[in-house]
Amino acid sequence: MPTSLAELALRTGAALDGDGAVQVWRVATLESAGPGTIAFLANPKYRSQLASTRASAVIVAPEMAGETALPKLVSGYPYTIYAKVAAILHVAPGVAAGAHPSAIVDPSAKIAASAAIGPNAVIGARAVVGERACIGAGSVVGAGTSIGDDVVLHAHVTIYDRCIVGPRGVLHSGAVIGADGFGMAEENGRWLKIPQIGRVVIGADVEIGANTTIDRGAIDDTVIENDVKLDNQIQVGHNCRIGAHTAIAGCVGIAGSTRIGKNCKIGGAAMVGGHLDICDDVVISGATQIQGSIKVPGIYTGTYPGLPHGQWRQVQSIFRRLPELQRRVRRLETSANEAPPVDAPGQGKGGA
């Protein structure tokens, strides 16, 4: 429903500049905005669109406030204010409590009266589903699994036995939590499967994207701490631990038994090897491969931008020759160190 700019300022903590009685009912980009919308400018790349936007109000940083006469919310963190405004204006519709007639709920499961169980969902033996939790159509909650208060499982989420999902978690369609870790032992050219007896334990306020998979631990648990945000199509191997407030973009692969610290950010398609330790406050650029532990906070990048194909082949040719070039440099350095010193002027034989 429409909300006044003054109320949005009060609820988000932004400063109001202009007519607070202006009513807005949805968010929009600067380019696509129209009457009744509020747009935001967080990236200076779109600064030129501020003058031409048809929005009723805008969200801007203080240094941009003078560039438009529109009513505005002003904050040093305009993207954060946009996120808060969007949550106020675009509230997800509620779901009626109770279980759909087609749902299969084991008699020993404990389901809160305010929880909603969708069509064809399956709730296993001794499972617990908390207050106001929403289990989407076709989702499966395994035996002995605990789903916290206000958790949302979208359609076709699968949570294996004995796992834990903390309060206010959001799991998108196709997510699989608690499948067996990839644990194998080799004997005489064949693989022996190692039973995976750990769990996946997910903290509060965690969001897990579509088709992301988190394997259960081999012995100890795989742990996702509070406020972790995982994008779509991420693989988290068994026995990993991801620290609180870490955000990981799509298509990242994390091999087993790796520990990632708090407040880390990992770009899309990065690959993180197994049995590593990554400290707090690390940023890993997209497509980077991490094969060793990181002990110092900072930004780590292990790739280079795309090049025209011919130039790329030249770079690769040089790269392949680096070991030989290194050996040649070392031989030259050794020869230089072993050579007799050159006489200074006036110091040679027969000098005065």
Residue with tokens 């110091």: 347
Residues 6+ apart with CB under 8 A from 333: none
**CA 326 distance to own-chain centroid:** 39
List strand residue ranges (DSSP E) for 126-249, in order. 128-129, 134-135, 140-141, 146-147, 152-153, 158-159, 164-165, 170-171, 176-179, 184-187, 190-193, 200-202, 207-208, 213-215, 222-224, 229-230, 235-236, 241-242, 247-248
290: β partners: 272
Size (the chain), residues: 352
DSSP calls for 290-318:
E-S-B-S-EEE--------HHHHHHHHHH
Of 154, 156, 172, 238, catalytic: 238
Pairwise CA distance, residues 309 & 314, whole Å: 9
245 is catalytic: no
Cβ contact 202:169 at 8 Å:
yes
Residue with tokens 């406030």: 65
Q: Annotated catalytic sites, by residue?
A: 238
